[in-house]
Amino acid sequence: MVTAEEYLQGARDVMKNGIKVQYNYKGEMRNGYVKCMGIIQREMQNLSLLELMVKEK
């Protein structure tokens, strides 16, 4: 189980080291951060695990 402090540290890391993105959500433009958290390889296919942390207004 992840503690609240561990979750917040992960979110801070994504915001500090991730890529800033803009996206449309329900007709409203929002900002967020994306970071590749790892790559899983199964049956010759790569799956990138991305974590998006939204920084609300």
Spell 2-39 as b/e; 16+ CB within 10 A means b.
eeeeeeeeebeebeeebeeeeeeeeeeeeebbbbeeee
Residue 42 sits in which domain range?
4-54
Residues of the chain with pLDDT under 70: 38-57
Give me the pLDDT at residue 48, please. 44
User: Residue 34 half-sphere exposure, CB side, CA atoms within 13 Å?
Assistant: 9
Give me the pLDDT at residue 37, please. 73
Task: State how many domains the chain has.
Answer: 1
In degrees, rounded to 5, the angle at the alpha carbon of residue 31 between the alpha carbons of residues 21 and 15 is 75
| 37 touches 49 (CB < 8 A) | yes
Give me the pLDDT at residue 3, please. 92
* DSSP type of residue 40: E
Give me the pLDDT at residue 52, please. 58
